[in-house]
Amino acid sequence: MRFLSRILMQCALGLLLSVLSYSSGVADMLQGVPLPPTQQKSSETSGPHGMVWIPSGEFRMGSNMEIARSDERPPHRVHVEGFWMDATEITNAQFRRFVDATGYVTTAEKAPELREIVAQLPPGTPPPAPEILVPGALVFTPPSTQANLWWWTWKPGANWRQPDGPESSLEGKDHHPVVQVSWFDATAYCQWAGKRLPTEAEWEYAARGGLEDQPYVWGEESPYEGIPRANIWQGEFPRHNTGMDGHLATSPVRSYEPNGYGLYDMAGNVWEWVQDWYRPDTYMRRAGAVVTVNPHGPDRGYDPRDPTIPKRVQRGGSYLCDETYCASYRPSARMRVSPDTSLVHTGFRCLKTQALPPKNAAEKTDGIATSMAAENMAYADGKAEGARALAQVRANLRQSFPNMEIRDLQLSPVPGWAMFLTGTGGKVMYVDVSGTYLFDGALLDVRSRRNMTQDFLLAKRRELLASVPLEHAIMYPPRIQRDPPMRPLLLFDDPDCPYCRQFHPEVKKLVEAGIPVAVFLYPVTQLHPDAVRKSIAIWCADHQADTLDRALAGQPIADATGPCRHPIEANLKLGKQLAVNGTPTLVFPDGHVSAGYRSASEVLRMIGTTEQVAERYSR
């Protein structure tokens, strides 16, 4: 790896790797870089050019299969919001346009700094000779004997333009995935393109293509049976690749069939960077949650095998993956790599989340739903018949499921079917008008690419938000007053939640930016038994906001003295109605819910521009 403490310990082999300075972050790299050319947009139906819409949903992340490694366990339920994802890995041609437009210099094209290497080496490791600290990267070199188990060679001059060293080139490889890119390089490209790297959860959800608990992105069939399904190693690894699939190294994108969502190369070809830091116990930390919503990974990396080197996650496997060695062409497989590492089998793809819809978008959605509901009424031959049909549906459900909660029963956009809310957080169920068939899940309008289930939930949340008791919240009024005033963001906070503490400074930044925030104390007793006591103490304090600030800064706070009426139970009920499954959770005035830590800048991007804020969230 380019972070090269491990290679320095193999100096007897004459190998050396290097480290890029972490101080030169992506923001510094992009300072002064021109903006990308106008992104080609296809129609509203097809979305951003070259991207595929992945609808929101819930899945089981990780694996318990025999082949799964310990860091893939335990499998756990995760929900992700919908997003656009590049249909293919970023190609050499795409990356060249980025470099030509910006003058960007990749990690592998820079000489590593000695001080950064020394700072992250295990104690007592001798430093490398300064004269060998030259730009370069790692290339794959098949060993001559089976006894030689090291197949990586540090190659001066290797970079994205010359993936295997100065003697190589990209001639004829415009449509191959770009390689020899570090995590910093991938992040810089995505930022330039107005996108970002996917989270580990988003990547795995998209890779599975709608399949549940399957070992591969195409299902159960072994990749070595039938027609080739992915660009992986064939033959005796690492000495001999037969090339039976037609490729000895990278293959052009779209060479193999896409998965169920229309994404290519989610298995094999090249490893793909994702946002998350790596920890082997990430999944274990989530094991207590019923459903984890939009996880963003740990706040720092830790690999017990290299404790001095924080690492990021890669997904998907590569053309070097073999069933006898790593078998990481599985959707649940994880790889840990230092973020400054550049490898001949590592690339990336980007993701783009939809901005929160403007105020008139909600009206447009309501119009679509109303129009479709009108068609349903016609199906029932008029409004009266429709009402009678719904009454019959309710009666049938009561008879079959006497204990089921049924809320907001109404005709669905699909003729002959009704929809209703049930359970905590508002699970949407669909039932035919005869009451014979019942299912839950996402209902998609393929023409408009809208998730009608999500639209229904958002509309119901907006109704609930219109009457939210803000007197049960601790208000953080903005320093900049807007005219007309803006409706506040709702924040559900647990005073003992580590991520709430991490997020609290970002709340102050939002307030400075003119965004009001209403904090609802929301103790998660399963994880933090003392959180209820602290929540009551905060609410009953003379200066609630100051006391909350101290608690989230880790400072001691005094218990409540004497009887005090508090809204904690009411807050817990409200949170369940709004599908709050953990803390911190933001609820936007238009009904969107975002769980986990986000920077203030990211929240502001989700809200939109100042003009959009005024239009979207004014009272």
In tens, the pLDDT along 77-116 reads: 999 999 999 999 999 999 999 999 999 999 999 998 877 7
Q: Quote the pLDDT of residue 600.
A: 92
DSSP-assigned letters across all residues of 281-313: THHHHHTT-S-EES----SS---TTSTTS--EE
CA 285 from chain center: how many Å?
17
Residue 519: pLDDT band with limits 50, 70, 90: very high
Please say if the pLDDT value at position 619 is more than 80.
Answer: no
Top-tier CATH class for 470-617: alpha beta
Return the number of other C-beta atoms located less than 10 Å from residue 178's C-beta: 29
Please say if the pLDDT value at position 289 is more than 90.
Answer: no
Residue 546: pLDDT band with limits 50, 70, 90: very high
Cα separation, 231 vs 252, whole angstroms: 10
Residue from 269, 273, 248 nearest 258 by CA? 269
Q: What is the helix (H) or strand (E) element at residue 185, kind and residue range?
A: helix 183-192
Q: What are the structure tokens assigned to 107, written together?
A: 């990690």
Please say if the pLDDT value at position 133 is more than 80.
Answer: yes
Q: Quote the pLDDT of residue 521.
A: 97
Compute φ and ψ for 237, nearest 5 degrees: -80, 140
Return the number of other C-beta atoms located less than 10 Å from residue 436's C-beta: 9
> Given the structure tokens 């400075």, which residue do they identify?
512
- 374 vs 197, higher pLDDT: 197
Cα separation, 58 vs 198, whole angstroms: 16
Residue from 91, 98, 135 nearest 113 by CA? 135
Return the number of other C-beta atoms located less than 10 Å from residue 219's C-beta: 12
Q: What are the structure tokens assigned to 67, written together?
A: 């082949």
CB contact burial 52-68 (16+ within 10 A = b; e otherwise): bbbbbbbbbbbbeeeeb
Q: Quote the pLDDT of residue 358.
A: 35
Q: What are the structure tokens assigned to 73, written together?
A: 């366990």
Q: What are the structure tokens assigned to 27, written together?
A: 């923001």
Q: What are the structure tokens assigned to 59, written together?
A: 């899945």
Q: Quote the pLDDT of residue 199.
A: 97
CB of 548 closer than 8 Å to CB of 522: no
Residue from 454, 527, 458, 468 nearest 496 by CA? 527
Beta-carbon contacts of residue 127 (< 8 Å; ≥ 6 apart):
8, 114, 117, 118, 121
Q: Quote the pLDDT of residue 19.
A: 31
The residues spanned by each domain of the chain are 45-106+168-354, 359-465, 470-617
Please say if the pLDDT value at position 389 is more than 90.
Answer: no
Residue 385: pLDDT band with limits 50, 70, 90: low
Beta-carbon contacts of residue 568 (< 8 Å; ≥ 6 apart):
521, 523, 532, 535, 536, 539
Position 502, amino acid: Q
DSSP-assigned letters across all residues of 356-382: PPPHHHHHHHHHHHHHHHHHHHHHTTS
Residue from 90, 130, 71, 133 nearest 108 by CA? 133
Return the number of other C-beta atoms located less than 10 Å from residue 13's C-beta: 11
Report the share of the chain in percent with pLDDT over 70: 82
Burial of 582 (0-12, 13-18, 19+ CB in 10 A): buried
Cα separation, 461 vs 589, whole angstroms: 9
Top-tier CATH class for 359-465: alpha beta
Q: Quote the pLDDT of residue 86.
A: 97
Name the CATH superfamily, with its identifier, for domain 45-106+168-354: paralog of FGE (formylglycine-generating enzyme) (3.90.1580.10)
SS3 content of the chain, % helix, strand, coil (to 5): 30, 15, 55
Report the half-sphere exposure of 471 (CA within 13 A, side-chain side). Answer: 3
pLDDT tens string 435-474: 788 888 888 888 888 888 888 888 888 888 877 888 899 9
Residue from 297, 314, 312, 298 nearest 348 by CA? 314
Cα separation, 232 vs 326, whole angstroms: 11
Q: What are the structure tokens assigned to 202, written together?
A: 């988003």
Distances, alpha carbon 441 to alpha carbons 121, 421, 428, 432, 452, in Å: 50, 12, 7, 14, 10
> Given the structure tokens 């390689």, which residue do they identify?
179
Cα separation, 26 vs 187, whole angstroms: 7
Cα separation, 149 vs 142, whole angstroms: 9
Cα separation, 402 vs 383, whole angstroms: 27
Q: Quote the pLDDT of residue 162.
A: 97
